[in-house]
Structure formats: structure tokens, C-alpha cells
């Protein structure tokens, strides 16, 4: 702001003439470029600093001179080129950055000792607080996960808490801040709220005890009718349309609209919430609920899509609302899907119907969980050839809306990863055991809250094997393709393939709020927190970034380990003869999965899909109506892509066969 | 195995899996339209047919079959 000076007598005279008053004019300081003529009907209390106000701002196409108009300002510093107008009550105890607009705001005040949302406790999963997460500005899905899910390790929790407290105390100031370029217009009470650069607050009813992180690359928007209490909202998020939030963390690039209400919940990056009610939910990245009458309660989600009327119950009228549920990444619920807590739903599972048993089946990813006549039926592996799962693999990275330079949540998007593949290997072993011990007369087997049709045990084994083959061999083929250009012989190829890093338990993986990681790396991180080798939050986040960056190497270590178990030979020692058989296995698996996906997609164009098209029309017109709206099977981009993939699979297999010859 | 035998066994399996009587199932019946066998049920049916004849079929080809008569043709050809 440059050098500050006191007001001249001439300036005081102008201000007084403009209807301004001050408790003590001597406590008002201004910088060069200050124009007293641009301060009208303003009441000053305490120490106030005013920067240059010679510029102008553009509000909805109207150019307005910077300055203070009809406002009461106490103990506040105002930057350069700020426009403040029509403040219903007062602005108190704030530092306002350059180029800020504050117009038609009831109250903007920060109290001594304000925390601006930091330190707020969010009771996720367990409404009564057994898994509370402490808010701080740099919270991300991973640091929240470590707080909420690893409660078994008391020493770690104690040290982690200390890191968070030190972080909050080290960076806190009890003066509010409206950062440069922020716009606050037509808002109600704003109390103890920090507002980040370029944030746009338009029509919010009440904001209390929070921080709105924002940046020029991705401004945060808080819109009409919004009430938020005890919160942190991250960069690029858009909250509008009467949303009511209490005790929440909202990550980057989220969209909360259309009267969503949420309490004691965390939403991480790219999540979307419309209409629904959310309570004590850890909504990891890409959690989506769009419908009225959907209640998400006491559960952990990520890459989730909740159907209309989805709900869960966490209160069995015994010891209170203490029950919890885990939906692993990629789950979808159909309309009116219900789950009774506790439950553990596997990754990429489609849940249909009402499930009244305690389901605990984390090792059956890519399944359908379907209620039939009041019973929960598991169809293992069926979701592997749903076109929806294929789309998931492509859509999430493409739909990453985050534009902030610092992407807070660390995300590994892979649908097929050591995490899901190892689960399928474990699930397949269970299915095999169940198949072997179930007599043919038995129609169903019961397993951890679900029943599985005996006939589908064998199918599940087959589908999981196909997915495992496609992944493990496909990854090896990718390594060979990398090694091929420099190789003159098969020996050269295998020599050029890197051996996997030596890691304890390469098969043990975990999903830390969207970050797929070797359990061993997470355990090491936790030990480092306990031993204080990690001594601050910044170091903790840096270590999490290192885990994120080591994913591809760790994945290869897993592939080497699992490949040897599956095919009896290490990828780096495999003979051309063995490789030829293995390539055939891959080709069969990849072609079959591709064909099953294609077949599944065909149903989108089958006769049943045409019902309701061409209302009141003859059959030819009905057909034309369907074509006009949905297009043709042969020209559908997804179908074309699947057909091309089929050809690519064959070409790739042929290329390898030639290499082996 | 004769075609009639293949048809009889297939229809018995369909009746069992779809909760119908064998005489309610006709050659011209469409699995989805007439027998309420959606895509999930079709997978179960294929599994049941495989077990009945102790064979493993190409699933993508089997799932293309849409009618009872089509299924008889498919398995009759396969078992020959």
C-alpha cells in the first residue's frame, strides 16, 4: 500500500462535508492516491487504513468509482482500489485486499480470537464423534482419512493432532481477511470468515466461522440463499441455490447446489451435491448425489454416484447413531437403494434394492448387489462388463475440474489397479472355495450378509480371472513395448525390463481417500509421524505426495509379484514359449471382456430401449424418433471405440507373436 | 444328442431358473420380452445351461441369443 499518512485538515473537512464521522480522525491513515471526495456517509471507529481509491470498478457493466459509500468501518485496513457501499451494520476487524468489492452486506465482522473454521471438529462416519476430523486450511482427502480411519493407532493420532494444532496456531490471526479481487455483494451476516483471492460471494444469507479458499485461476463462488457455519471451502468450489451447510469441509472444484443440506461432512474434490441430505459423510473425491429424497449418512464414499431415494440407517435404537458404512470407490446405488449399517460394499459395486443384512464383502469388486425377494444377492464380477465401468475409467480424469495451481487431493484414478486386482484375486479364492464345498443340490450359498447363486460362483471365478489376466499381462506387455526399441533379441527384451522394487507385502494396498497406496508406505508414514521424523503438516503432505508419485513404480512391483504367483514365472525371466501362451491368455481375456462389454452396450439399442419413443406415431416414425434422439448402434462413439479396441487387441497380440518368433 | 432332447432339457432349466412351468415356455418366446429374463438373468441362464450339459460356452455368443428357439439352435449345434 506504500507509505501511510494521517488525514490533512482539508481532507477531514471534505469527509465531514460528505456526512462522514469518526471517533478519532487521528486514527485514520491513508496512502497516496487517497481521494477524500470518494468517501461518503461513512462512520469510522478505531484504527482504519485506506489505500488509493482513485480507480474504478466494473459491477455488472456499470463503472463505479472506488471509495466508501454508506458504510461503518471499524479497526479495518482497506487496500487499493476498493469499492465498499451500503453496509447495513458495519465492517469490523478486517484486512481488505486490493481491488475488492463489498456492496450491500449486512455485517462483515471478525471477533477477537476467531478461528475462521480451523479447529472445527467434523464427526464423520460416527455421528457421536468417534472419528472426528479437525479442520485446517490444508486439509485434503488424505490427511482427513488418516484422522478418521486410523483410530487404532493412538500414538499416531496423538502426534497427528499435535501437528494440526501447531499448524493452526502457527498460521492463525484473529483479524479477518478479504483477499485481493474478492467480490462480496448482496450478502447477509458474514462473521469470522476469511475470504480468498477473487472469491465471488453473491447473495449468501449467512457465513459464520469459516475460510473460503480461492485463487485467480479458479475463483470460489458462494451464491444466493446459502448458509454455511463452521467450515472451510476450497478453491474453485461453487455453492449456491439455498444450500445449508453446518460443520463441513468442501474440497476443490465441488459443486453444491439446489438446496442440498449437509452437516458434519467432508466433500473432497470434484464432488457434487444437489437436493440431497448429507450427514456425517466422508465424501471422497468425485462423490455425487443429485436427487431429492437421497440421504447419505454415516458412510465413506469416493467416486460414488447415489441414485434417487438412496438411504442408509445408522441408528438401530440401541446405543445411538454409532453405526457406519464403507462404500469403496466407484460404487453406484440405484433408485431407493437402502443399506443397513454396518456395511462394507466392495469397489465398483452397483447396489440395487433394499438390503437389510449387514453386508461385509470388500473382496468382491465389480459386482452387482441386488435385492431379490428381500434377500441380498451378490453377482460377483458382473460389473466388469458394464459400459458404465468402462466409462468410469475414462471420465474421471477428464472431469477433473480443478484449475488451482495446487491440487490438494492426491488422486490415483485407475479403475484396474493393484488395489482392485488383488481384491479380485482374494475374491476369486473365496468363490473357488465356496464352489468346491457347495453340493450341486444347493441353489445358493450364504457369505457375510449376502447370498450367491451357486451357478454364479463359477462365473465370478471366470470373470475375475479374465480381468486379472488382462491387467497383469497387459501391464507386462506395456513394459515389453517400452523395452522393445532398444532390444535385438528376447534376452535383450527381458534384460531391459526393470525388476519391481523390493517391497514388503507388495500385495497389500489401501485406498487413502482416493490415493491408492501400498499399505507399507502408509505404515511408514505413520511411524514417521510418531517418531517425529515428520514434524509438521507441510512435511506430512510432502510425504503423501511422494507416495502418490511412487504409484507407478509400486504398481510394477505388485505386477511382478502377482504375475509370478499367477503364471509361475517372473516377468523378467519368462521364456518366449511361456510368453506365447501368456499372450494368448491375454488376448482371450481382453477379447472376451471387450465382447461382453459390447454385448452389454447393445442392450441400450435393443427393442426394450425403444419403448416410449415415437409417442402416437406409426412404427416407422417410432424408429425414426429413436434414431433422432439416441442414434444408431453402429455410429455410436462408444460402440465405435469398443470395436476399434477389439481390433487393437488382435493387432497387439499379433505384434507380440511376431516378436516371439 | 437329439434336438428334441436338447430342447426338453433346456426348457426344464429355463422353467427352474425363471420360476415357470415347462409348458409355459414356447419356442417363439423372447427371453427379455416374454420371460422377464433381463441381462442379469441371462447370465444365470447361461451358467445353468453350461452346468446342464457340462460344457463351457462362448458367453458373448450365448448372450446374443434372444429366443427360446434360438437357444435350442445354439446348443443343438454346439452339442453336435
Report pLDDT digits (tens) over A334-362: 999 999 999 999 999 999 999 999 999 99
Per-residue pLDDT, averaged over A21-42, amounts to 97
Residue pairs spanning A and B at CB distance below 8 A: 36
Q: Which helix (H) or strand (E) holds A246?
A: strand A244-250
Task: Check CB contact under 8 Å for B51 and A455.
Answer: yes
d(CA A315, CA A373): 24
Per-residue pLDDT, averaged over A21-27, amounts to 97
Residues A99, A30 within the same domain = yes
| A475-521 confidence digits (pLDDT tens) | 999 998 888 777 778 888 888 888 777 888 999 999 999 999 999 99
**Is A210 within a domain?**
no
**Is A12 within a domain?**
yes
Point out the domain boundary residue: A109, A131, A163: A109
Domain count, chain A: 3
d(CA A608, CA A280): 40
DSSP letter for each residue of B48-80: HHHHHHT----HHHHTT--BHHHHHHHHHHHH-
Does residue A66 carry a pLDDT above 90? Answer: yes
Residues A138, A98 within the same domain = no
Task: Check CB contact under 8 Å for A453 and B59.
Answer: no
pLDDT at A397: 92
**Is A498 within a domain?**
no
- Which of A200-209, B24-33, B53-62 has the highest mean predicted lDDT (pLDDT)? A200-209
pLDDT at A230: 98
Does residue A158 carry a pLDDT above 90? Answer: yes
Q: Which domain holds residue B36?
A: 3-79
Residues A105, A128 within the same domain = no
Residues A3, A71 within the same domain = yes
- Rounded to 10°, the helix A154-171/A537-549 angle is 120
Residues A104, A28 within the same domain = yes
Structural contact between residues A509 and A418, judged by C-beta atoms closer than 8 angstroms: yes
Contacts of A150-159 with CB under 8 Å at 24 or more apart are: A150/A526, A153/A526, A153/A530, A155/A530, A156/A526, A156/A529, A156/A530, A159/A529, A159/A530, A159/A532
Domain count, chain B: 1
Selected residues 596-625 of chain A with any CB under 8 Å from a CB in chain B: 596, 598-600, 603, 606-608
Q: What CATH number does the domain containing B15 carry?
A: 1.10.1200.10
Selected residues 22-41 of chain B with any CB under 8 Å from a CB in chain A: 32-33, 39-40
d(CA A350, CA A392): 13
Per-residue pLDDT, averaged over B66-72, amounts to 94
Distance from CA of A200 to the nearest CA of B (A): 48
pLDDT at A364: 98
d(CA A470, CA A384): 12
C-alpha distances in Å from residue A301, one per residue of A144, A352, A512, A589, A627: 13, 17, 11, 30, 37
Point out the domain boundary residue: A82, A109, A136: A109
Residues A154, A62 within the same domain = no
Residues A61, A163 within the same domain = no
Q: Which domain holds residue A618?
A: 576-660
d(CA A49, CA A634): 68
Task: Check CB contact under 8 Å for A607 and B39.
Answer: no
**Is A429 within a domain?**
no
The maximal CA–CA distance of chain B, rounded, in angstroms, is 29
**Is A251 within a domain?**
no
Structural contact between residues A179 and A193, judged by C-beta atoms closer than 8 angstroms: no
pLDDT at A477: 94
B44 touches chain A (CB under 8 A): yes
**Cell 517372473 belongs to which residue?**
A570
B16 touches chain A (CB under 8 A): no
Q: Among B33, B43, B64, select the one facing A459 at the smallest CB separation.
A: B43
Residues A6, A94 within the same domain = yes
pLDDT at A660: 79
Distance from CA of B64 to the nearest CA of A (A): 7
Residues A89, A156 within the same domain = no
Q: Among B32, B47, B60, select the one facing A596 at the smallest CB separation.
A: B60
Task: Check CB contact under 8 Å for B33 and A608.
Answer: yes
What is the percent of chain B where pLDDT is above 70? 100
Partners of B16 on chain A (C-beta within 8 Å) are: none
Task: Check CB contact under 8 Å for A379 and B32.
Answer: no
pTM here is 0.94
A508 touches chain B (CB under 8 A): no
Partners of B63 on chain A (C-beta within 8 Å) are: 596, 599
B79 touches chain A (CB under 8 A): no
Residues A2, A62 within the same domain = yes
**Is A542 within a domain?**
no
**Cell 433422432 belongs to which residue?**
A628
Task: Check CB contact under 8 Å for A592 and B60.
Answer: yes
Amino acid at each position: 500500500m506504500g507509505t501511510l499518512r494521517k488525514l490533512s485538515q482539508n481532507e477531514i473537512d471534505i469527509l465531514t462535508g460528505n456526512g462522514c464521522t469518526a471517533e478519532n480522525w487521528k486514527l485514520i491513515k491513508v496512502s497516496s492516491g487517497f481521494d477524500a471526495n470518494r468517501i461518503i456517509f461513512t462512520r469510522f471507529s478505531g484504527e482504519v487504513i485506506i489505500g488509493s481509491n482513485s480507480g474504478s470498478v466494473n459491477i455488472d457493466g456499470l463503472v463505479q468509482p472506488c471509495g466508501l459509500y454508506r458504510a461503518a468501518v471499524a479497526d479495518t485496513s482497506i487496500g487499493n482500489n476498493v469499492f465498499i457501499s451500503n453496509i447495513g451494520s458495519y465492517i469490523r476487524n478486517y484486512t481488505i485486499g486490493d481491488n475488492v468489492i463489498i456492496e450491500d452486506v449486512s455485517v462483515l465482522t471478525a471477533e477477537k480470537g476467531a478461528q475462521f473454521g480451523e479447529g472445527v471438529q467434523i464427526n464423520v462416519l460416527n455421528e457421536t464423534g468417534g472419528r472426528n476430523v479437525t479442520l485446517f486450511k490444508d486439509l485434503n482427502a488424505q490427511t482427513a482419512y488418516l484422522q478418521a480411519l486410523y483410530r487404532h493407532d493412538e500414538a499416531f493420532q496423538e502426534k497427528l493432532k499435535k501437528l494440526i494444532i501447531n499448524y493452526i496456531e502457527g498460521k492463525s490471526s484473529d483479524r479477518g481477511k478479504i483477499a485481493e479481487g474478492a467480490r462480496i455483494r448482496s450478502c447477509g451476516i458474514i462473521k469470522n470468515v476469511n475470504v480468498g483471492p477473487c472469491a465471488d460471494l453473491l447473495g449468501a444469507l449467512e457465513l459464520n466461522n469459516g475460510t473460503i479458499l480461492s485463487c485467480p485461476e479458479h475463483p470460489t463462488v458462494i451464491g444466493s440463499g446459502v448458509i454455511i457455519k463452521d467450515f472451510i471451502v476450497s478453491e474453485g468450489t461453487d455453492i449456491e441455490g439455498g444450500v445449508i451447510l453446518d460443520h463441513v469441509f468442501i474440497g476443490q472444484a465441488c459443486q453444491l447446489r439446489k438446496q442440498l443440506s449437509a452437516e458434519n461432512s467432508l466433500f473432497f474434490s470434484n464432488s457434487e451435491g444437489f437436493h440431497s441430505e448429507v450427514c456425517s459423510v466422508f465424501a471422497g473425491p468425485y462423490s455425487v448425489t443429485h436427487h431429492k429424497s437421497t440421504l447419505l449418512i454415516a458412510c465413506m464414499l469416493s467416486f460414488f454416484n447415489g441414485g434417487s431415494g438412496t438411504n442408509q440407517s445408522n441408528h438401530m435404537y440401541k446405543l445411538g447413531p454409532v453405526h457406519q458404512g464403507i462404500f469403496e470407490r466407484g460404487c453406484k446405488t440405484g433408485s431407493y437403494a437402502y443399506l443397513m449399517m454396518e456395511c462394507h460394499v466392495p469397489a465398483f459395486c452397483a447396489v440395487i434394492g433394499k438390503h437389510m443384512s449387514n453386508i461385509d464383502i470388500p473382496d468382491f469388486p465389480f459386482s452387482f448387489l441386488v435385492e431379490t425377494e428381500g434377500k441380498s444377492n451378490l453377482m460377483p464380477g458382473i460389473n466388469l462388463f458394464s459400459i458404465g465401468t468402462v466409462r468410469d475409467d475414462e471420465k474421471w480424469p477428464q472431469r477433473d475440474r480443478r484449475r488451482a495451481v495446487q491440487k490438494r487431493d492426491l488422486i490415483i484414478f485407475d479403475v484396474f489397479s493393484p488395489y482392485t486386482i488383488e481384491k479380485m484375486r482374494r475374491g476369486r479364492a473365496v468363490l473357488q472355495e465356496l464352489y468346491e464345498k457347495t453340493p450341486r443340490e444347493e441353489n445358493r450359498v450364504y457369505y457375510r450378509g449376502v447370498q450367491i447363486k451357486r451357478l454364479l460362483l463359477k462365473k465370478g471365478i471366470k470373470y475375475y480371472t479374465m480381468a486379472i489376466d488382462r491387467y497383469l499381462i497387459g501391464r507386462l506387455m506395456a513394459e515389453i513395448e517400452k523395452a522393445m526399441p532398444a532390444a535385438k533379441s528376447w534376452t535383450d527384451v527381458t534384460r531391459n525390463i526393470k525388476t519391481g522394487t523390493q517391497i514388503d507385502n507388495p500385495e497389500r494396498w489401501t485406498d487413502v481417500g482416493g490415493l491408492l497406496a501400498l499399505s507399507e508406505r502408509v505404515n511408514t508414514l505413520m511411524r514417521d509421524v510418531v517418531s517425529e521424523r515428520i514434524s509438521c503438516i507441510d512435511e506430512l503432505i510432502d510425504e503423501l505426495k511422494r507416495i502418490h508419485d511412487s504409484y507407478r513404480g509400486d504398481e510394477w512391483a505388485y505386477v511382478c509379484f502377482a504375475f509370478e504367483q499367477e503364471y509361475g514365472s517372473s516377468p523378467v525371466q519368462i521364456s518366449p514359449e511361456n510368453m506365447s501362451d501368456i499372450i494368448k491368455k491375454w488376448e482371450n481375456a481382453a477379447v472376451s471382456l471387450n465382447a461382453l462389454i459390447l454385448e452389454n452396450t447393445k442392450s441400450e439399442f435393443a427393442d426394450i430401449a425403444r419403448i416410449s419413443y415415437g409417442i402416437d406415431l406409426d412404427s416407422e416414425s417410432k424408429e425414426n424418433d429413436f434414431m433422432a434422439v439416441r442414434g444408431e448402434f453402429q455410429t455410436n462413439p462408444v460402440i465405435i471405440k469398443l470395436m476399434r479396441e477389439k481390433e487393437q487387441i488382435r493387432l497387439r497380440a499379433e505384434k507380440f507373436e511376431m516378436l516371439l518368433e | 444328442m437329439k434336438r428334441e432332447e436338447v430342447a426338453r432339457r433346456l426348457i426344464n432349466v429355463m422353467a427352474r431358473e425363471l420360476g415357470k412351468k415347462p409348458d409355459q415356455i414356447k419356442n417363439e418366446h423372447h427371453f427379455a420380452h416374454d420371460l422377464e429374463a433381463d441381462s442379469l438373468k441371462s447370465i444365470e441362464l447361461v451358467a445353468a445351461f453350461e452346468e446342464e450339459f457340462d460344457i463351457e460356452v462362448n458367453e458373448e455368443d450365448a448372450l446374443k441369443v434372444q429366443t427360446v428357439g434360438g437357444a435350442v439352435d445354439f446348443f443343438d449345434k454346439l452339442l453336435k
